[in-house]
Amino acid sequence: MNILFFGTKKYDREFFEKKLPEYPQLNITFIEANLSPQTATLAAGYKAICAFVNSDIGEQTIEILQKVGVKLILMRCSGFNNVDLEKAKQAGITVVHVPRYSPQAVAEHAMALALIANRRIHKAYIKCRENDFALSGLMGVNFYGKTAGIVGTGQIGRAMAEICRGFGMRVLGYDEYKTESKIIEYVDLETLLSQSDLISLHCPLTEKTYHIICKDTIEKMKDGVVLVNTSRGGLVDTDDLIAGIREEKFFAVGLDVYEEENESVYEDLSDSILQNSTIARLLSFPNVVVTSHQGFFTSEALEAISDITLKNALDFAGGKITNAVN
């Protein structure tokens, strides 16, 4: 089966090429161009395409993929909110994803963001590079003995809960689908918001969870709360978040994702003027740390993503559908 990989970086090719000898039935072509309505015609002659979280796989893209004969969309990630699943179903295109690769990779990054933002490590690093060893502006708070609130207790959320427990924290959890846990104390969302000193988001982006963090929910939080989001930018209403930061509702904020993520994510724009007002405003605050959607980015996770994606493709070629989302 011929597969066209869109939006590939050096690290994508490196990890997938390591696995390819195990899958001689698959013929893969890597291109740097990302999937969008403007590039979808490049898939002509391919039965399957592979895309990532920053691809535009809306109605227009899928219509073009259908016309050129694509039957399978392989998402080399767990999220698929950027895919018009209903349109893909109508077009007879199967969409599969990688439901789990390394929950610990994302959870560890979430805690790293919480610690960096809380202890102002990003500021301390810059100060020390300038031979400024004063401690002003660097005071943090202990996590030990505090309460962590985990919104979304899937595999990543549970991994984060274990890390928080290891820090000596009480762990509250909110999820429509509760999982048996000796660590997590399940409560309703309002209770979690009002009692948590650290809130970490690990739920998928759906109609129900869109802007789950907004003016109303922020008002229910403790003053001086630490907020971390390593899931999807749309979970947080950025304007309301910024208002909360300015009103000093938040002691610290760590974001690996944010609203207005677009084709610029994963690109080097160091020589460009930022066109994104969201990221510019967030970066202006001393108690906010932003990273570039890198929570998944460990060698263990990339190895698992490569293996599961290729297995999904091989199963489809053999008439079996694994990890379908539509």
pLDDT in tens, 112-169: 999 999 999 999 999 999 999 999 999 999 999 999 999 999 999 999 999 999 999 9
Could you tell me if 285 and 303 lie in one domain? Answer: no
State the pLDDT at residue 61: 98
130 catalytic? Reply is: no
pLDDT for position 263: 62
pLDDT on residue 269: 74
324 within domain boundaries: no
Is 192 a member of any domain? yes
Cα 324–Cα 265–Cα 114 angle in degrees, nearest 5: 90
Report the domain count for the chain: 2
Q: Are residues 143 and 32 in the same domain?
A: no
Catalytic residue of the set 17, 261, 263, 300: 261
- pLDDT, tens digit (0-9, with 9 covering 90-100), for 177-193: 998 899 999 999 999 99
pLDDT for 167: 98
User: Which of 97, 109, 211, 293 is flagged as catalytic?
Assistant: 293
Give the position of tokens 């309002």. 190
Q: At what angle do helices 155-166 and 103-119 cross, to 10 degrees?
A: 50
Indicate whether 169 and 205 sit together in one domain: yes
Catalytic residue, candidates 97, 120, 232, 259: 232
Instruction: State residue 92's pLDDT score.
Output: 97
Secondary structure (3-state) at 166: helix
* Domain hosting residue 201, numbered range: 103-290
- Of 31, 66, 16, 13, the closest CA to residue 310 belongs to 16
Quick one: 77 and 223 in the same domain?
no
- On whether the CB atoms of residues 182 and 168 are closer than 8 A, the answer is no
Cβ–Cβ < 8 Å for 152, 107: no
- Name the stretches of the chain with pLDDT < 50: none
Do 112 and 50 sit in the same domain of this protein?
A: no
**How many Å apart are CA 6 and CA 16, to the nearest integer?**
13
Q: How far is CA 85 from CA 11, 89, 96, 235, 312, in A?
A: 28, 6, 10, 20, 17
Q: Is residue 323 part of a domain?
A: no
In the sheet that 198-201 helps form, which strands lie side by side, from edge to edge? 184-186, 170-174, 147-151, 198-201, 225-229, 250-255, 288-290
Query: Has 261 been annotated as catalytic?
Result: yes
Write down the pLDDT at residue 13. Answer: 96
**Does some domain include residue 256?**
yes
